[in-house]
Amino acid sequence: MEAKFKAVDFFCGGGGMTCGLRQAGVNVIAGVDFDKDCKNTYEINNPGASFVLADITKLPSNYFTKKFGLQKNDDNLIFIGCSPCQYYSIINTSKEKSQKSKDLLRDFRRFIRYYNPGYILVENVPGLETREDSVLPEFLSFLKKRKYTVKYRIINMHHYGVPQNRKRFSLIASRVNESIDLPIPDKKENYLMLRDVLGEKNGFRAIVAGNKDETDFMHTCAGLEGKNLERLKKTPHDGGTRLSWKDDLELQLPCYVGNDNSFVDVYGRMFWNKPASTITTKFYSISNGRFAHPNEDRGISLREGAVIQTFPRNYIFKTQCMGVAAKLIGNAVPPEYAKRLGEVIIKLADHG
């Protein structure tokens, strides 16, 4: 059966949002991104969706009509704008680089104005709503003037089938259905924990630091130099922290002497019975957060990070570079949450 809804995924990255919407039954026509590292991964996993390698600020408004035959005022058209968020992120990045990311919602708005799609989805870091200098109020005003019903809030994706604490700003808007709202969260007893997706019973054989998996499964993890391996060996299983070796003069890091309460998650192990920490683009490194395996002496593997992000196990990250794969995984909208957004739109249309 032909999908009723079609979508364009602006700032598509490696395809997390596209993947989830396709699972829901939406026909994603195209993904747009200016990062060439995304192209092969996006296309190989999302057949039928075209990857458009382009800077949105330079793309003509009528591009999608000329290239894909998109029409204006299509009630069944969904536009997705999950723009890069360095500017609003709590993680420090170069402000010059991040300044460009601040205004990408304005560029996305240009395409909304031109095509007037039936539905709009936006996902971003919470700072998009909380920072005083955010472009969000301007964007919301624009949508309301165009008669969109808009619902948004900061959600934790852990409440929506994603086994990690991942707080995000999520917006859904429609000009054709006033009953639109974000997905309903799971009941607390159904929240997924790390034990539900990782470990040998879930198909992850035990490996050592530096394991290289040449297959598409990519159960590959970073190597650890001597001292970091020693640190991890001294970190208790299932949630242990760097405080376990803070009095070891050989292992303690000078920057943490007397700083027991800051950055406690760094070098920490994940807990089996809790959600993972937010999967970032540096999740393969134990010095970048609580990214050590609960009981093996290593950081989590690329595939483990992808599964925590709810990518299907057969989703292929087409790169030889660990850093590039981690970027594609960490920057993604978890497909499970994207799927639920798609289901909301489809169900509403079926009952509307």
Active site residues: 85
CA-CA-CA-CA dihedral for 285, 100, 35, 314, to nearest 10? 50
DSSP classification of residue 121: E
Beta strands in the chain (DSSP E): 6-10, 27-33, 50-53, 77-81, 119-124, 149-156, 167-174
In terms of C-beta density within 10 A (0-12 exposed, 13-18 middle, 19 or more buried), how is residue 27 classed?
middle
Q: From CA 331, how far away is CA 326, in angstroms rounded? A: 8
CB 225 within 8 A of CB 310: no
Beta strands in 126-258 (DSSP E): 149-156, 167-174
Please name the residues in contact with 303: beta carbons below 8 A apart, sequence gap of 6 or more.
204, 213, 217, 218, 219, 220, 313
3-state secondary structure 41-90: HHHHHCCCCEEEECCHHHCCCCHHHHHHCCCCCCCCEEEEECCCCHHHCC
Q: State the distance between the two ends of the chain, measured CA to CA, in whole angstroms.
A: 20
